Each structure stands twice: as structure tokens, then as C-alpha cells.
Structure 1
Amino acid sequence: MAVNATTGNHMAFKVRRTSTIIDKQFQDFGQVSEEPLIKIAEILVVENPLVGRYVEDLGPYIEASPELGREMGDRLRRTLEFHGATAQSYGKAGLVGLAGEKEHANMLLSTAFANPIRELIGGEAWISSVTKVASPGTPVDVPMNSMDDVYVRSHYDTMSLFIPDSPLPDEVALIFCVATRGRLNARVGGMTREEAQSSRSR
């Protein structure tokens, strides 16, 4: 599968794999919640266009990354709709195979990549992110924060996952996670989601 970019260089990213992980939690520490916490991870594993070589100017790849963002956002939107849910928090991660460097994930996860996702599922706040060079099956804890304001403490969370046989040395795994609510037993105070939304609408 090739995701074509609309920039002048006609770059296309080769998507080798897509995957969806869904986790639904009903209780935590013996406390049952009427509203479950649903976490969704959408994964795009792409062929690393810069595998094995150092390139100083990453601009063309950053400019082409919105197409990956649109694909990711559309997958997230459809998964949320299937569960009749909306996202309240989000986060992103990138795993680079051993024949690449960390910047090969960062160039594909910038604001250029994220903005199309925001257009499809919402969100204005800064997006938590982590990247690392990894072998296949390496676990990653994807950090998440509120889509309305990073200072909403109840929505600080992670989604832990791994891809059994990815990233291969010449791959980059792009991961975007969303959650449908804050932590089940959140009770550390601070700004609420409702307060963040009210402040933003003024």
C-alpha cells in the first residue's frame, strides 16, 4: 500500500502494515466505573525512506507527512465511530528500525502530520510524544494528555503496546493513541476537562 503525498516532489510512503489495538477497562483497583475507559492505538508501519543513510534536510519528508496523518486520522475516526465514542486524550509514538535514526520518526510525527488528525477527531492541545530506535517487538509506553489542555491532570495516561515483528531494520512504526475519558480513579485535583473547554470557548 502506498500513501501518496500531494507535495511537488510526488513522494509516496510505502505502508507495509496497519494495525488497530483496542483496550477497554471497566474497573481499576476494585472500583467499577459506569463509563469504561477505551484506549485505541492505530499503527502504520512504513518503509523507512532514509534507511541506512544520513540526510541533513528532512524538510521534504516533513512536508509529505500530512498524507500519513490523513490516513491515520481516518482510521482513528472510523474506529471511534464503530464504538460510538469520542476521543478526549491523545498521544503519539514512533519506533525506528535498527538501520535508521530517531529523527526518521520525528520527521514523520511533526505538527504537519498531526494537524490532519486534529481535523478529523478534534483536539487543540499539544500532543505528547515519544520516539526511539528499536528492534521488533520492543514495548513502548505511549504518553497521552487531554486534547483540550495539557494541564488537565485526570487525562495524563499511557497506552503500553508492542508490535510482535516490527519495526524491521528498514521500517518506521508510527503509532497514534486516543482515550475516551480520563483515568478511571483520577482524583488528584487540578483543572477539569469541563473547565478547560469553558476557558477555550471564551
Structure 2
Amino acid sequence: MIEVRKIVTIKEEIFHEGGPVAAKPLLRVAALAVIKNPHAGRYVEDIQGTMKELEPLGLELADRLVAILGGDRSIVEGYGKGAIVGEAGELEHGALWHVPGGYAMREGLGDAKAIVPSTKKVGAVGARLDVPVTHVNASYVRSHFDAMEVGVPDAPRSDEMVVVLVMTTGPRIHARVGGLKASEVKGEDGLR
């Protein structure tokens, strides 16, 4: 069983990045769960079962993010995930979040097509993580290439992990570097 010490949520409202004020602010939200790392302090050959154990937590965090955004999952245009592993763990322990975190985002959003971008690292208490974000249906939508910096001041302890999900409601404010537009997404292959 996954032991959760705490859950932290973050909500950003971005009105401008030095240019004109946006008609509608970009919302970026994150949910971070500080959990006991069941594999900390020792090498375990078969760790894959932990992914299944993490699935309910992934769904809970995805549901929390949609609720923070007002309950309308259709406004979510970007997503990402990540993990910070405490010093008694290994990078591979953070990789256990790939499947349950991505599954939870796609499940919670209905019919999202794109792979959920991810990052992970081993870090000390207070470590920060830049979680990459892409469009939910097409990874090639440049306007949605983004990141959200997250962290928990008292985590991860050496035998813990911080697992993270991020959702956004649109492109970067003032996005203007061209490429595939969100309005042009076909949503067939997760890329275009």
C-alpha cells in the first residue's frame, strides 16, 4: 500500500508576461503527493508492482486538479508529470510514476491523445522540479510547450518520493513562435 504523508496543491493565474494583459488568464495547477518510497535504502529487482499500487493516487490527484479548475475537464489543454526521489532511493523509483501518472491524466480528461511528458530526479529535502507540459492531444503544438516549477519545502525525506501531476488551461501567455496551432490539431496520433 502507498503511504501518503501529505498532498500539496498549487494554482497559478498568469495575466501577462510583460506584454498586454490576456483576455483570459492562463491557469497552471499542480498536485504533489509526498509518499513513502517502498524501495528506499535497498536494491529491489522487481519493482513493477508498485505502478499498479500508485494508480489510485494518480486518479485522486488528477481529479483534484480538475476540481481546482472548476470541475470542467474540457478546459484542460496541457499536462505533465514528474517525481522527486529522496536520497535513499534511485532514479528508477521515480520512473514508477510514468504509467500511473499518465494513465490518470488521460483517464481523468476523457480522450487525451498525447503522451504525458515527464521528468524525474533524485533530490534532497526542498528540491524543486521543472515539470514539462505539452498539449493534451498533440505533442507538436509549440504554443503549449511549457513547464511548471514545483516542490515541497519539507520533502522528499530520504525515504520518500514526491509524485506530481500538472494541468494547464491553454498556451503560454503571448505564445507567438509559430508551428501547429491548437485549432489545427487532428488528434489522431498524439503528435499532430
* Percent of matched pairs sharing the same residue: 36
Question: In 2, distance between residues paired with 1:42 and 1:116?
Answer: 12
Among 100, 103, 126, the alignment partner of 1:115 is 103
2:156 paired with 1:167: yes
SS of the residue aligned with 1:13? coil
**CA-based RMSD:** 1.8
Please say if 1:132 is aligned against 2:113: no
Structure 2 contact 66–73 (Cα < 8 Å) conserved: no
Gaps of 5+ in 2: none
| Ranges in structure 1 where 5+ consecutive residues have no aligned partner | 1-11
Task: Go from structure 1 to structure 2 and tell me whether the alpha carbon gap of 1:85 and 1:57 turns closer, same or farther (over 3 Å shift).
Answer: same
Does structure 1 conserve the Cα–Cα contact (< 8 Å) formed by 2:138 and 2:187? no
Could you tell me which amino acid in structure 1 is paired with residue 175 of structure 2? Answer: A
The normalised TM-score by structure 1 is: 0.87
The one-letter code of the counterpart of 1:194 is S
Distance 1:149 1:105 in 2: 25
Q: 1:28 aligns with which of 17, 34, 53?
A: 17
Residue identity opposite 1:116 in structure 2? A
Query: Which aligned pairs between 1:36-75 and structure 2 lie closer than 5 A?
Result: 36-75=25-64
Larger strand percent: 1
Counterpart of 2:41, as a letter, is: G
Letter in 1 for 2:109: I
Q: Is the 8 A contact 1:48 1:172 kept in 2?
A: yes
Normalised by the length of structure 2, the TM-score is: 0.91
